[in-house]
Amino acid sequence: MKTMRAVVDWLKSDEGGRHQPPTGESVTPYSAVVRFAGEPWPTGAAWSLVVKKIQANAPNSWVAAVHFLVPDAPQEMLSEGRTFDLYEGKKRVARGTIEQPVANAS
């Protein structure tokens, strides 16, 4: 699967997001429904994006490795410069921008 480096900014609770970002470092990876800018809201199945923190730029801003949860997802959507939103149910919890491929992604 394609793994990309992204900057992920977690929305604060007063912005409608989470009280705090997930840890991003557990054995069980964080995943959420993703919506890419310019794409319609999915009417059927939605794709989930796995987010693993590489480093924190600030408490609510990460550099992260991201990839789709399943291999048959549209990998071409993970391209440099694409922006996306992460959702937990109907609640938008983060915004992100894809930067570049992750070297030696496993």
The predicted structure's pLDDT at residue 105: 59
Give the count of domains, the chain. 1
Residue 86 lies in a domain: yes
Residue 106 lies in a domain: no
Nearest to 6 by CA among 102, 105, 98: 98
Residue 24 lies in a domain: yes
pLDDT tens digit sequence for 51-82: 999 999 898 999 999 999 999 999 999 999 99
CA distance 66 to 78: 9
The predicted structure's pLDDT at residue 19: 86
Q: Identify the domain containing residue 48 by its residue range.
A: 4-101
Task: Read off the pLDDT of each residue in 1-30 and give the average, rounded to a whole number.
Answer: 87
Residue 70 lies in a domain: yes
Non-local (6+) Cβ contacts of 14 within 8 A are none
String of DSSP letters for 57-93: EETTEEEEEEEESSTTS-GGGS-TT-EEEEEETTEEE
**C-alpha neighbours within 13 Å on the C-beta side of residue 12:** 4
Residue 89 lies in a domain: yes
- pTM of the full structure: 0.90
CATH number for the domain harbouring residue 79: 2.40.30.10
Does 106 score more than 60 pLDDT?
no
String of DSSP letters for 24-58: S-SSS-EEEEEEETTSPPPSS---EEEEEEEEEEE
